[in-house]
């Protein structure tokens, strides 16, 4: 296991925690998607859509240090840790996103509304920062969906 990696010292060591949540409350109840990487490698994933059926998908698996390292690299390269959510749209009735990351001695805990497209990003008060968030979230979701899909052979439902 130790063989793989070490190529990116900035993303390599120290504390790490990642949690992402997106959801809203509507006529189908509280529908959301949430996942987290814990420092010991536990990846947890929860997906609730009450549409048609009433089941919540909850999966967990331990990922290898290499997978954790890759998550750190994606975050590191996004520069999200230098951003601030103070000028981002507030969560509203349409929905809420939360991104919480601990990496090294930095801790961010951001929240904003759902972002439909780059048009929303462009028209916001902090398009540069929000764009970083917008793309990072998609890249992280893509990574987690692949991990969950390959491991459990289930397809996530988009909240």
Partner 1 sequence: MVAAMGRAAAEEGDVEFVDYDQDDEDAMEEDGRAARALPVPRIVSPAVVRTRGRFAGRSPSVLTSSHYRFDSITNDGDHGPGPQRSIEGWTILVSGIKEDAEEDDFYNAFSEFGHVKDLHLNLERRTGYAKGYALIEYESFEEAQAAIRAMNGSQLLTKTIYVDWAFSRGPIQNFKSTRPSRPRSRTPPRRLAALRP
The binding site for partner 1 (CB under 8 A) comprises 1, 3-5, 7, 13-15, 17, 19, 21, 25, 29-30, 32, 34-36, 38-42, 44, 46, 48, 56, 58-70, 73-74, 84-86, 91, 96, 98, 100, 102, 105-111, 135, 138-139, 142-143, 146-147, 149-153
Q: Is 78 left (phi over 0), alpha (psi -120 to 50) or beta?
A: alpha
Q: Please report how close the Cβ of residue 29 comes to partner 1 at its closest, in angstroms.
A: 7
Q: How far apart are CA 57 and CA 152, in angstroms?
A: 11
Q: Please report how close the Cβ of residue 42 comes to partner 1 at its closest, in angstroms.
A: 7
Name the CA dihedral angle for 126, 35, 77, 16, rounded to a multiple of 10 degrees.
110
Q: Please report how close the Cβ of residue 131 comes to partner 1 at its closest, in angstroms.
A: 8
Q: Any idea what DSSP says for residue 92?
A: B
Q: How far apart are CA 145 and CA 16, in angstroms?
A: 20
Q: Which is nearer to partner 1, 8 or 123 (CB)?
A: 8
């Amino acid at each position: 296991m130790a063989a793989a990696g070490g190529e990116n010292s900035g993303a390599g060591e120290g504390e790490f925690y990642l949690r992402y949540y997106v959801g809203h409350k509507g006529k189908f109840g509280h529908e959301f998607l949430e996942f987290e990487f814990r420092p010991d490698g536990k990846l947890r994933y929860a997906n609730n859509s009450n549409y048609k059926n009433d089941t919540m998908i909850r999966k967990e698996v331990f990922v290898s240090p290499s997978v954790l390292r890759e998550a750190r690299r994606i975050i590191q390269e996004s520069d999200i840790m230098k951003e601030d959510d103070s000028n981002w749209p507030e969560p509203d009735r349409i929905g809420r996103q939360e991104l919480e990351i601990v990496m090294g001695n930095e801790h961010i805990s951001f929240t904003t509304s759902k972002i439909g497209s780059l048009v929303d990003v462009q028209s916001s008060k902090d398009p540069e920062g929000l764009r970083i968030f917008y793309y990072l979230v998609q890249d992280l979701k893509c990574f987690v969906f692949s991990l969950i899909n390959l491991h459990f052979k289930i397809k996530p439902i988009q909240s």
